[in-house]
Structure 1
Amino acid sequence: MFHLNAGNLFLQDVISLVAILNPVAAAAVMISLLPPETPKVVTDNVALRTARLVFIACLVTLFFGDLIFKIFGININSIKVIGGLVLLVLSLNMINGKLSIGTKHTAEEISEAAEREDIAIVPLGIPVLFGPGVIATVIILKERSGSLFTLALLICAIAVASWITYVVLKNARILMKRLGITGFKIITRIMGLIVGAIASQFIISGVKVLWLKM
């Protein structure tokens, strides 16, 4: 029973992180930033560096994110409510077929990003993949971890989600050809529903505790 519960917890964490990261939408952004003639080795390198950034950023948030909030006297239930609201807005954007919060760029910004060597950092890594929704989710998932074992499971879930991000970005052009814009939007909308459900759980859980403390 213990192993079954651990497996379910790990799977839930992976699904939550992948849905919120939404690597499929990030793949569409990457294709728009890289010229069509970009060599496969360059695309693979961008995918690897982006996934590595996501993994490191999630780990930094995991170990130091809640500390920053504690310094300002913000408790975890308040984070659950505001984090849930951020995820709710994100999910509504995803359900409407939009990529994510804060990923709109002007033609000049796209052109500048395409010329830089660090598009894996900005805008792909931050804010397209690693944004406020991911930050809130990682902190809340850590709060749920009551032992070193469950914390280790969460770290493994972050690693798997980062690896899935790498695989999706690496094969972005293949996925675009197979799925097309319509397929990308369908997957984004499905992920939006998952993110919306997670957001609802966060909000209800946080409001419930805060209400009892009033």
Structure 2
Amino acid sequence: MTIVTNLFISLYIKLFFLLTPFFVLSVFLSFIEDMDVIEQRKLAIRVTISVLVIVLTLYFAGNPIFSTLGITLDGFRVGAGSLLFLSAVSLVSGKRTRPEPEDDTDVAVVPLAIPITVGPATIGTLLILGAELGGATERLIGAASLIAACLTVGLMLFVAPALKRVIGSMGLAVLTKITGLILSAMAAQIVFTGVANFLS
């Protein structure tokens, strides 16, 4: 039971930061400036549902995609790890900007779910995670931790104005940069694993 709990907590923490929650929160706050509380919460719920559907689809699609395209997991690790590192650098440097929504799209899906919460680097990392967790038990733990991470981010969006009052704009900026540092370490680990497996 301890091994299961440790795996769940480890994956939950990684996935929580992978979703760049504090950057997502700051972008979400900019979208809800002219909304009343009910509209804000409805948008938060729609974003959470959209993200859940997207990440679970990606998580379970890893192996079929790799086998269909003939891409090795280690090759994908190097590519996805590099993308994740670039994403981390943009968070640390403060150069990651919010994409503007198109007129005919639901902002809960585009751009809030994709690409703000689930960007290219997140997509690649989720595909790797789903493919490298071997047994059924590990895959279920991974799915549970992914759901928990998404719901945590969704809860943050649900209470976004209150969180902003507690953390403040400066606090959000600092937490976003810390997220970038954590993601850069994750990216390095993914790349090193891929390279090491190639050379072994």
TM-score (ref. length: structure 2): 0.92
Contact (CA 8 Å) 1:17, 1:134: kept in 2 or not? no
Give runs of aligned pairs for residues 37-76 of structure 1, distance below 5 A. Answer: 38-76=35-73
Q: Cα offset for 1:134?
A: 1.6
1:134 paired with 2:122, answer yes
Structure 2 residue identity aligned to 1:41 = I
Q: Cα offset for 1:146?
A: 2.0
1:89 paired with 2:77, answer no
Q: Distance in 2 between matches of 1:136 and 1:94?
A: 18
Q: Distance in 1 between matches of 2:159 and 2:185?
A: 28
In the other structure, the counterpart of 1:77 is 74
Alignment size in residue pairs: 200
Q: Cα offset for 1:170?
A: 1.0
Deviation sequence 1:147-182 (CA, Å, 0-9, x none): 111111011011101111111111112222222221
Contact (CA 8 Å) 1:76, 1:143: kept in 2 or not? yes
Mark the runs of 5 or more structure 2 residues left unpaired by the alignment: none
Find 1:158's aligned residue among 119, 127, 146.
Answer: 146
Q: Provide the secondary structure at the position in 1 that maps to 2:77.
A: helix
In the other structure, the counterpart of 2:178 is 190
Find 1:169's aligned residue among 151, 157, 160.
Answer: 157
Q: Distance in 1 between matches of 2:129 and 2:60?
A: 12
Q: Cα offset for 1:117?
A: 7.3
Find 1:10's aligned residue among 8, 11, 18.
Answer: 8
User: What root-mean-square deviation, in Å, do the aligned CA atoms of Structure 1 and Structure 2 show?
Assistant: 1.8
Sequence identity of aligned pairs in percent? 28
Greater Cα shift, 147-156 or 64-73: 64-73
Q: Cα offset for 1:118?
A: 1.6
Contact (CA 8 Å) 1:50, 1:120: kept in 2 or not? yes
Runs of 4+ in 1 over 3 A off after TM superposition: none
Mark the runs of 5 or more structure 1 residues left unpaired by the alignment: none
Q: Distance in 1 between matches of 2:198 and 2:153?
A: 35
Structure 1 residue identity aligned to 2:187 = A
1:210 paired with 2:198, answer yes
Q: Distance in 2 between matches of 1:195 and 1:210?
A: 23
Are the structure 2 counterparts of residues 79 and 172 from structure 1 closer, same or farther at C-alpha, using a change threshold of 3 Å? same
Find 1:149's aligned residue among 137, 140, 144.
Answer: 137
Q: Distance in 2 between matches of 1:78 and 1:21?
A: 23
